[in-house]
Each structure stands twice: as structure tokens, then as C-alpha cells.
A and B are shown apart, each in its own frame.
Chain A
Amino acid sequence: MIHSYALNGYYIVIDVNSGSVHSMDRFAYDMVNRFEQMDREELIRTFTDSLYPNIPREEAEECYEDLCTLRDEGRLFTPDTYEDLADTMKQKSAGIIKALCLHVAHACNLNCSYCFASQGRFQGERALMSFETGKRALDFLVEHSGNRTNLEVDFFGGEPLLNFGVVKDLVRYARSIEKDVRKRFRFTLTTNGMDIDDEVIEFANKECTNVVLSLDGRKEIHDRFRKDYAGQGSFDRIVPKFQKLVKARGGKNYYIRGTFTHANPDFMKDIRVMKELGFTELSMEPVVCAPDDPCALTAEDREIVCREYEALALDMLESRREGKPYTFYHYMLDLKGGPCIYKRISGCGSGTEYMAVTPWGDLYPCHQFVGDEAFRLGDIWQGVTNHAVQEQFAGCNVYSRPECRDCWARLYCAGGCSANAFHATGSVQGIYAEGCELFKKRIECAIMLKLAEELGEPL
């Protein structure tokens, strides 16, 4: 299977199953798109007689042979031979857990109306995780990590800095056992910024491999949703704190993470504000909410968003030329050192190698299922006891979803987000079609950017 598209003057061909990416001129692009429908003679005659009468036959033959060479080298029209690997990976990683989303606070000092977590409470009561529960969660992670060395813990909420003392104590505990258990903990922190101070900055910059800072862009957009309980917007209070934290981090290993909604599908205006504020590591995500929610993206919004994704890619190219580069999370593709085929077919690992832990120590498949009792997997003392639910997640891969089988982007998204699929279709084995549409546009833009970076101008 190939996927071909034109963007920003590039004629791009992706060989889905090998991962190869080609930039072609219009002539080769037209030929590759007819390659499987016609035999050699018919194709060359069609090109030289009607489509490109000014191109000599010898050149058409040469182009055809080049396509044959790429096919024979396994870089075009490569067959999909990976389906059996899904079971192999499932068996290899059975019972292994390597990442936890630690809900250290089911409480928040903001009252964001679009919050998927019901203002941090996850449909339940306010709560803070105790050190004892957090310590047990870390021990649980180590006990179930098998031969994995890299263990990941994200401090999440709610607002995790409402429980900063426990966060610090947990990191201190993890560092104290790392050597003995032969593991490497990687901590990340997701925060709204309200409680950032010098101590938090020093801690985050010493201990966190990444910090995610919530900022929606334009002040009026940000403050529309991200208010405190007195109804006051938070923009003016958090921006200076984010700037101070980022400067102290040397401008690396963070993401300014915004949400776009029905109020701002034209999110490039928000990206520009982030740039003007001095931020260079950026991420903007579509809102997660019910389709009938007033802030949900409409079909018209998604068309705007797709145009914005293209505008973003062009702006990134222009900024790079001007010596002011910035990054966008979803455009950070590593074509040479990206994930292996096992990762690409098996997905994010939610419910199997990745779980969320509530302040009470309950286990859920990921942070987006917390609060839905039907998805409770067990707890950090007894382990996973709801094997039926875990089996649903273990069975998620690109071959378990019929819609993914014919999709060119399946080895970039690995079947997509189970939580989004569940909320859209009622099944973790479903797909979130609207999300797929945006994802595919992002990948097309990201690959165009990589081509421009690697090859320069289009052919």
C-alpha cells in the first residue's frame, strides 16, 4: 500500500509497510499512482502518447524502471507481513507494566469548563494521594516491570502541585531505590502553573525529564475556559511563571500544551502568541468532550483546523529559515530512529503496560478512564483483578480494528487512542473517526516538513 499526496509543492509518496518516504516530480508521481493498474507497456504508452507527449519514451521507461527498483528493494508497494507480530508482542510483554500516570491530586485550583476530568475530581470526591499510597504505587511498578529498565511516572491530576510535598517525597524515594532495583525512573509533570514557584522550578528542572505546561494561547481564549473558582482568568498569573521555568530549563524539555475548541479552531493565532511569549516547544490538542458539548469541534471547525495544520507547517519552515525555529509536538517525527514495528502495531499500551493510579490506589487503563467504575482494573495492592477489561485493551492493535486495515496512517498512529474510541463509539476497539481525520492531516504535514528539512526544494 502507498499513500500519495501533494503539499507545498512536494509530491509525496509514503510506502506504508516499509516506512519509506519518497519525494517525486509530477511525472513520477502520476506514474506511481497508475503503477498497479496498468502493465508496463500500457503505462509507458499512456504517458508518452497522451499525458506527457513531450517526454521521450526512454525517459518514461527509465522512470518506470526506477519504480520497479524501489519495489524490488522493498521501498514501494511493500506487502504487510506484520499481523503475526501483534500476538508476539502481546506474549512478550504480558504482565509487564512500565509506566504509571500518578493522580496525586483529584483537586484543582482552576475550574476549567472544558476539563475532561470534571475540574480534576474525575466524577468523584476531592482527594490527595498519600505518600504511603504513592510509595506503594512505585513499588508496584518496579515489581511488575519485568526486564524493562526505563520506568515512567507522570505526576498528574487535577493539579499535581496541590500535593507538591508528596510529589517531592515520591521522587526522593524512587531515587533511593533506583540503584538497588536496577531501574531508571523518568518523571514528568503536567501542571496548570498556578502554584509554580522557585522551589517547584528547581525541583522540576532537576528531576523531570519533561514538563507539560497548560496554556491555550491568546489571553481571551485561555481565560475563556481556564478560570479560577472566583471566575478570574489565569493567563496573567501563569505566563510569567512559565517563562521563568522555561528560562531556568534552558528552553528545553518542556511543552506548552494548549487546547483548541469550537472557540478557536483558528489555533495558529494561539501558536503565534505562544511564540511571541518566547516559547518554542509547542503542542496544541483538540478538545476531548461529548459531541453535543458547546465547545466540541464541528465538521466546519475541523476543516479550519486542517487548514491551520498546513499553515503551521509552512510557518515552521519560514521560522526555521529566519533562524527562529520552534517545534510542534505532532510534527516531531524521527524517520530514521522512530519506533519499531512492534510499537507501531501495538499502540500506547494503555491497560497493559501503562496504567493510571487514583489517589486511593485504584488502577485504571489510563487517565481518561479514571472515574468510570466499569474500567477499574484493580488496585496497587492486589494488582489487576479485572482481567476481562484488561484483555479488551491487550487485544487492541492495528489489526483488531477493521477500519485500520485499509488506512495508510495505521503504522503512525498504531490504531489510535482507546479512550477517544470508547467515547466516540462505546468500544475501546472502535475508532474515533473525527480524530483520525485530524491525525492524518498532521502526519501529512509532518512528513512534508521532514522532506523539506532533508531534501530542500521540491523536484
Chain B
Amino acid sequence: MKHIQTVETRSLCESAKKGGCGECQTSCQSACKTSCGIANQQCEN
């Protein structure tokens, strides 16, 4: 596509099929303890 570049990202729609294992880190435990950082977490699976 001449005018558009797309970054590879995890498909949230696909993650609905097998996600939700609950093993990922609790966001508030990671660094800030005062402002939510869900986006900064990584999936364990």
C-alpha cells in the first residue's frame, strides 16, 4: 500500500478465542503502584 504502513499487532479479535488464562502479571505490581498500566503488560501465553 503506497500511502499506508501497518504495524504487526496482536489481533484482539483472535485473542477472544483463547485468551483469558489470567496468568499475566497484575499491572499494579509492576512499577507504578499508582496508575494503571494494563497496556504495558505482556501475555504469558
Which of B3, B8, B33: most chain A CB closer than 10 A? B3
Within 8 A of B (CB), among A327-344: 329-330, 332-344
Q: Which residue on chain A has the smallest CB distance to residue B18?
A: A340
B38 touching A66, Cβ below 8 Å: no
Interface of A is mostly: mixed
Q: From known contacts A21-B9, A150-B44, infer whether A99 and B34 are also in contact, taking CB-CB under 8 Å.
A: no
Within 8 A of B (CB), among A372-428: 411-417, 420
Q: Which residue on chain B has the smallest CB distance to residue A456?
A: B5
B35 touching A286, Cβ below 8 Å: yes
Q: Which residues of A lie under 8 Å from residue B13 when comparing CB positions? A: 17-18, 74, 78, 81, 341
A149 within 8 A of B: yes
Q: Whole-angstrom distance between the alpha carbons of A290 and B38 in the complex?
A: 24
B22 touching A148, Cβ below 8 Å: yes
A21 touching B23, Cβ below 8 Å: no
Q: Which residue on chain B has the smallest CB distance to residue A23?
A: B5
B32 touching A283, Cβ below 8 Å: yes
B28 touching A366, Cβ below 8 Å: yes
B29 touching A23, Cβ below 8 Å: no
Q: Which residues of A lie under 8 Å from residue B43 when comparing CB positions? A: 337-340, 343
A216 within 8 A of B: no
Q: Which residues of B lie under 8 Å from residue A63 when comparing CB positions? A: 2-4
A210 touching B31, Cβ below 8 Å: yes
Q: From known contacts A340-B19, A342-B19, infer whether A439 and B8 are also in contact, taking CB-CB under 8 Å.
A: no
Q: Which residues of B lie under 8 Å from residue A96 when comparing CB positions? A: 22
Q: From known contacts A116-B34, A414-B36, infer whether A66 and B4 are also in contact, taking CB-CB under 8 Å.
A: yes
Q: Whole-angstrom distance between the alpha carbons of A336 and B12 in the complex?
A: 10
Q: Which residue on chain B has the smallest CB distance to residue A156?
A: B33
Q: Which residue on chain B has the smallest CB distance to residue A28?
A: B3
**Within the complex, what minimum Cβ distance (angstroms) separates A195 from chain B?**
19
How does the 8 Å CB contact mask read for A282-311 relative to B, with 1 for contact and 0 for none? Answer: 010110100000000000000000000000
Q: Whole-angstrom distance between the alpha carbons of A210 and B7 in the complex?
A: 29
How does the 8 Å CB contact mask read for A60-94 relative to B, with 1 for contact and 0 for none? Answer: 00110011001000110010011001001100110
A62 touching B7, Cβ below 8 Å: no
A177 within 8 A of B: no
Q: Which residues of A lie under 8 Å from residue B27 when comparing CB positions? A: 348
Which of A150, A354, A435: most chain B CB closer than 10 A? A150
Partner of B7, one of A23, A25, A350: A23
B22 touching A98, Cβ below 8 Å: yes
A336 touching B22, Cβ below 8 Å: no
Q: Which of A163-171, A240-248, A447-455 contacts B (4 or more CB under 8 A)?
A: A447-455
What are 10 A-B interface contacts by the 8 Å CB criterion? Answer: A19-B10, A93-B22, A101-B28, A257-B33, A337-B10, A337-B43, A339-B24, A340-B12, A348-B36, A417-B34
Closest 7 CB pairs of A and B: A340-B19, A342-B20, A28-B3, A340-B15, A99-B26, A412-B39, A414-B38
